Structure 1
């Protein structure tokens, strides 16, 4: 039985908060009742749009907020996830995939995630399980299954504190899609998430490490061998660029041993060396244009006005703080403090942190993780008595 989208992620109850906090345009009624009821959004007007959710496009021209507001950031994140689930119905790398992985980990500071999102993940899993394996081997499907497994595993770890049958099923499906070289197929067209197989493999490593007790207690000898193949891939294959090195360092937190101690410190130093004078980091300084996927964005990226000196952005600054923290760099380290201060100073009025897309001039979907990562960064670096919502 499909859940009614009126209940999905508490859509109605969130609208009043979201309208006040993020300036969303609120319509007069919701659309049809099915989870996958479709409304074709006008992307010229909205970054995310479904029913009463109408989130304006992200723009580098948006004014900086006077005060940091976690409420506005969360309103954007929850609204974007709701709209994507209802309108697209998939676990996308750039929105619901990372929302699914990180939102459970923020339960301590933001409260429990809505159980309806877990229901969506389980329904999407059943949809993927019903497909022939051959249908899932190309395009974005392997990456979706990997992010789905990681999302369910994260929920198990941080919300239910137990391994669920659904996560076991998702991990089994994930490894059924594993290639002989230990990685998964990925499109090489949409950096940073759907740009290479290495990125997907780091998320697969996260899913294995997040699933409570799965590797030690539930994985069959065959699956244990496939995990070993994943480890070997991440140890053997050179990361295609420095952004991939950041992802590998993050994966190490969840699946220890994929990098040695010396490489780990090299990666930490690399991230620290990339910090900009203003305290932030720029995603564009973590790969040459030709290194993203098959280089099909290179001409566009090299033509950008600030190509030689790209500005700091929310995505990479939040990611750098989160990954450095996971690698053991204390929150009192000057680099972390400067990164956090950059985040506090550079939130936009909508609640987002601006990150310019590597792909198009239209979608800028990277502003989603460009907001999710900063929220995570502020959470992991906060002292116990730090405010967890509106800051003044």
Structure 2
């Protein structure tokens, strides 16, 4: 009996150590870090900010982009892709983004072209690069730069025969959806100032027509993709009919939560987000049947609805703005739990923070000084 008890005690100790180790793996000390500079880990239990601070958001986004470039030395959709897409438009509130960040993205785009690798998530990465450089040009140049032109042309060299930007099943929602990559490519084309209007390359124009055809005729496999389709249609004016746009707006309203926010988890079934064990893990989440609102989906949806012409004075938009102002965390971010159930870093929280800041700006609620939630 003594040996049995000893074995049982040893087994319990091992389980405790394993659980403690697992818990530590799920809660890294930092989300971004390089040398002595860092951003703390993104966690669901991070305290909310006592009052909303625009400057905290700015510092969080600018530092995150800088640290990722120095630490990882690659353009990621969740950090630089979203940063370049959103940050230029926030210049009236925070000043211009770092030229060094743009230079880093341009250098990475050149490396992708020279390597001519079209595998994995690289096509959607190039779509985000082109979209970000187009956003930069729209804010600061009013004409398409040679760097953005090169990125757009390489993007369409990566286009699949069916007109889409093929993305392998990897990390949802940014790196697992062909529809996502294709919608981003459409927005890159439409937002590059003067690029499409002055384009006289018949082969490239035909590829753009194929891209439009794919988006029009391919049914989104989930409502998150539907949100991106609506967004693309707000800048590529001939993409959808008014009736189709309105149906997508109606779909978005149906997902709004009682507290005024939205949750990425109601916009897609686990099966539509990719294969592997992710589906099983997502269905096992404690709040699977009633997920909480999150910063990513709330910020994204408000941006898209505003671009679709919904007034900032709409009662449901005002309710969403109130949610955003009252759910900032002490680090400056908005929390979103990753759909990649093995993730320890929850980088989608960074993406959501950028979208939330842009959403507040589009609603006239992004003050440059601290303000209390309504």
Find out whether 1:112 has 2:96 as its counterpart: yes
> Secondary structure of the residue that 1:48 maps to in structure 2?
strand
Measured after TM superposition, the shift of residue 295 of structure 1 is 6.2
Residue number in structure 1 paired with 2:49: 65
Q: CA–CA distance in 2 between the matches of 1:299 and 1:344?
A: 34
Relative to structure 1, the CA distance from residue 294 to residue 258 in structure 2 (aligned partners, 3 Å threshold; closer, same or farther) is farther
Residue number in structure 1 paired with 2:7: none
> Secondary structure of the residue that 2:198 maps to in structure 1?
helix
Relative to structure 1, the CA distance from residue 380 to residue 69 in structure 2 (aligned partners, 3 Å threshold; closer, same or farther) is same
Query: 1:156 pairs with 134, 137, 146, which one?
Result: 137
Residue number in structure 1 paired with 2:356: 374
Find out whether 1:274 has 2:255 as its counterpart: yes
CA contact (8 A) 1:282 1:312 kept: yes
Find out whether 1:336 has 2:317 as its counterpart: yes
Give the TM-score normalised by structure 1.
0.85
Q: CA–CA distance in 2 between the matches of 1:354 and 1:377?
A: 15
Q: Deviations over 1:9-41 (max 9, x none)?
A: xxxxxxxxxxxxxxxxxxxxxxxxxxxxxxxxx
Q: CA–CA distance in 1 between the matches of 2:200 and 2:114?
A: 22
> Secondary structure of the residue that 2:289 maps to in structure 1?
coil
Unaligned ranges ≥5, structure 1: 1-41
Measured after TM superposition, the shift of residue 388 of structure 1 is 2.9
Unaligned ranges ≥5, structure 2: 1-25
Q: CA–CA distance in 1 between the matches of 2:336 and 2:303?
A: 17
Measured after TM superposition, the shift of residue 296 of structure 1 is 4.3
CA contact (8 A) 1:186 1:196 kept: yes
CA contact (8 A) 1:379 1:388 kept: no
Q: CA–CA distance in 2 between the matches of 1:117 and 1:43?
A: 28
Q: Deviations over 1:241-273 (max 9, x none)?
A: 000000111111221222221111011111111
Find out whether 1:87 has 2:71 as its counterpart: yes
Q: CA–CA distance in 2 between the matches of 1:296 and 1:336?
A: 36
Which structure is larger by alpha-carbon Rg, 1 or 2?
2
Find out whether 1:185 has 2:163 as its counterpart: no
Q: CA–CA distance in 1 between the matches of 2:224 and 2:369?
A: 30
CA contact (8 A) 1:243 1:283 kept: yes
CA contact (8 A) 1:189 1:296 kept: no
Relative to structure 1, the CA distance from residue 43 to residue 50 in structure 2 (aligned partners, 3 Å threshold; closer, same or farther) is farther
Q: CA–CA distance in 1 between the matches of 2:274 and 2:201?
A: 34
Q: CA–CA distance in 1 between the matches of 2:315 and 2:349?
A: 26
Residue number in structure 1 paired with 2:114: 130
Query: 1:303 pairs with 257, 263, 284, which one?
Result: 284
Q: CA–CA distance in 1 between the matches of 2:32 and 2:143?
A: 33
Residue number in structure 2 paired with 1:97: 81
Relative to structure 1, the CA distance from residue 389 to residue 161 in structure 2 (aligned partners, 3 Å threshold; closer, same or farther) is farther
Find out whether 1:292 has 2:273 as its counterpart: yes
> Secondary structure of the residue that 2:91 maps to in structure 1?
helix
Q: CA–CA distance in 2 between the matches of 1:43 and 1:212?
A: 43
Relative to structure 1, the CA distance from residue 72 to residue 219 in structure 2 (aligned partners, 3 Å threshold; closer, same or farther) is farther
Larger RCO (CA under 8 A, 6+ residues apart): 2
Q: How many residues get paired?
A: 346
CA contact (8 A) 1:91 1:147 kept: no
CA-atom RMSD, angstroms? Answer: 1.5
Find out whether 1:55 has 2:36 as its counterpart: no
Q: CA–CA distance in 2 between the matches of 1:116 and 1:137?
A: 26
CA contact (8 A) 1:206 1:251 kept: yes
Measured after TM superposition, the shift of residue 279 of structure 1 is 0.7
Measured after TM superposition, the shift of residue 52 of structure 1 is 2.8
Find out whether 1:389 has 2:369 as its counterpart: yes
Query: 1:363 pairs with 342, 345, 348, which one?
Result: 345
Residue number in structure 2 paired with 1:217: 198
